[in-house]
Amino acid sequence: MRTIRCKNYEEMSRRAADVIAAQLILDPKTVLGLATGTTPVGCYQRLIELNREGAIDFSEVSTYNLDEYRGLTHDDPQSYHYFMADQLFNHVNIKAANTHVPDGSNPDAASACAEYDHMVENAGYVDLQLLGIGNNGHIGFNEPCSDFPVGTHCVDLTESTIRANSRLFEREEDVPRQAYTMGVGTIMKARRVLVLASGEAKADAVRAMCYGPVEPGCPASALRLHPDCIVIADEAALSKCPEGL
């Protein structure tokens, strides 16, 4: 695990976009794993700028998102389908058919998860997986639990995750209580993993990921076993890690 320390969110976003841009230049047919939430928004904005400038091309790129709320239709403004279209896909030259998000509108969890696993496997898995990290150490919607989930599955969201995500809803009661998410095993099959973290609220989780035991109580800790994982974090998120990091 390699760590890049940044001064602030803006620098973190630029550095992350640089890594992704380099990947697209080296391999125009890259399979990208993407994340939602507020953390990657600055990175996506920079990728949009680079695409408009002609520095990077999404025309042959395919994407697979980590997760989706169970029970939301694709056009629901709170869905991750909608988020990705609004924050990235509608602003770059990517083909809609090449973008993939778990089907939260499918009430059959087993079917929805198996279908998504099949899609990711057929794509040859992800070349570069972008991740955030939750306050409790979750990646995707893989919450702290007794083991590391392997494939896509339906998860009950913890109260801490519901509270953290409620900032994006009118009321906390509106936050869905379940989601479909790639498993840790699928994430670990990505050839490179890029983890973004910003803000003091993430400091405990970042320290646990980088220095705590590798155990499912902190799902992100599994990334220490990945052969090519880069953490890009600002000073606030790294405030509980050694200064030399």
174 HSE (CA, 13 A, CB side): 11
Tell me which fold the domain 2-130+139-198 belongs to: Rossmann fold (3.40.50)
Tell me the pTM.
0.94
pLDDT at 31: 98
Q: How far apart are CA 182 and CA 186, in angstroms?
A: 6
Question: Which residues are within 8 A (CB) of 213 and not within 5 positions of it... i.e. 6 or more apart?
Answer: 221
2 HSE (CA, 13 A, CB side): 8
Every domain of the chain and the residues it spans: 2-130+139-198
Following DSSP, what letter does each residue of 133-196 receive, concatenated? --TTS-BTTB-S-SS---S-EEEEPPHHHHHHHGGGSSSGGGS-SEEEE--HHHHHTSSEEEEE
- Active centre residues (catalytic): 67, 136, 138, 143
Q: Name the amino acid, one letter, at 242.
A: P
Ordered per-residue pLDDT tens for the chain, 245 residues: 999 999 999 999 999 999 999 999 999 999 999 999 999 999 999 999 999 999 999 999 999 999 999 999 999 999 999 999 999 999 999 999 999 999 999 999 999 999 999 999 999 999 999 999 999 999 999 999 999 999 999 999 888 888 888 887 888 888 889 999 999 999 999 999 999 999 999 999 999 999 999 999 999 999 999 999 999 999 999 999 987 55
